Amino acid sequence: MAKPISDPATEFFVAHRNLLFTVAYEMLGSATDAEDVLQESWLRWVRVDLETVRDRRAFLVRIVTRKSLDRLRALGRRKESYVGPWLPEPLLTAPDVAEDVELADSVSTAMLLVMETLAPTERAVFVLREVFGLEYDEIAEAVEKTPVAVRQIAHRARTHVAARRPRGRVSAAQNRAVLHAFQAALETGDLQGLLDIMAPDVVTLSDGGGVKNALLRPLVGADKVARLVSSRWFAPGTARTVEPVPVNGGSGLLIRIDGEVDSVMTFRLDNCGITGLYIVRNPQKLGWIGKENPIGRAL
């Protein structure tokens, strides 16, 4: 017979929910799957005898990590048959998330795509160590490896990620300036304005999930990208709005066509301008834009 849900267990879980959601989301790149992981983890947690748990926070993180790893491996199989590029689900985040530079960077679309190139265990170790600062022995229990192995995995993952980071960080003020310029160019159809803020080798990925029109492969080059963007959102006979929104710890644009949410655009920036443009159009991935989401590292 299942143990009744205890108030202390529920209160502790709720107090750490933002942390747990962020761990799951960073591992999965999917808020929907992260929520499912939290539900599964809570059902496991409320059946634990708390008197036997020495470090409750570590125990909870371990549950969430293991369930995230199981789901991450299943997601890998699902992505193999995905139509076109797969992009993370964009999240509407609180403005103060951007103040935590490391957290904001870790949940950005660009970083989540870098983490997609890691093996599941490497991704878990990287998230727990680099983002949340867990000790190696804690991580070892979560991923069921030895501390020595975890140190090696962490070094390998850190090197892998460092080689793929943007070529130079931009300030929040620079980020806002580029976003404003991009929005203005988009709204006025200023092709040259788009070219001025894009790196020559800018890459665009769009995710329609086979439901909405989208690129089936990356598009490279400022001229091609600028023409695609300007022609796509300036088709005659449509009423468009372009709204700046805080997305994934940074700045993004919410595009509505005829009053309906059409897409969310996020950017990868460095000192050369926009080097990555990410457009999510899959309606199944846009449900998290209507509400502010619980991203955080607070314990």
Given pLDDT bands bounded at 50, 70 and 90, which one contains residue 5?
very low
Q: How far apart are the first and last CA of the chain?
A: 32
Backbone phi, psi, residue 276, to 5°: -140, 130
**Element spanning 10, H or E:** helix 7-15
pLDDT in tens, 80-135: 889 999 999 999 998 888 888 888 889 999 999 999 999 999 999 999 999 999 99
pLDDT of residue 168: 66
DSSP string of 87-143, one letter each residue: -PPP-EE-GGGGGSHHHHHHHSHHHHHHHTTS-HHHHHHHIIIIIT---HHHHHHHH
Nearest to 256 by CA among 206, 209, 222, 290: 290
**Strands (DSSP E) found in 41-98:** 92-93
Q: How many residues belong to the chain? A: 299
What CA–CA distance (Å, rounded) separates 261 from 17? 28
pLDDT in tens, 22-78: 999 999 999 999 999 999 999 999 888 888 888 899 999 999 999 999 999 988 888
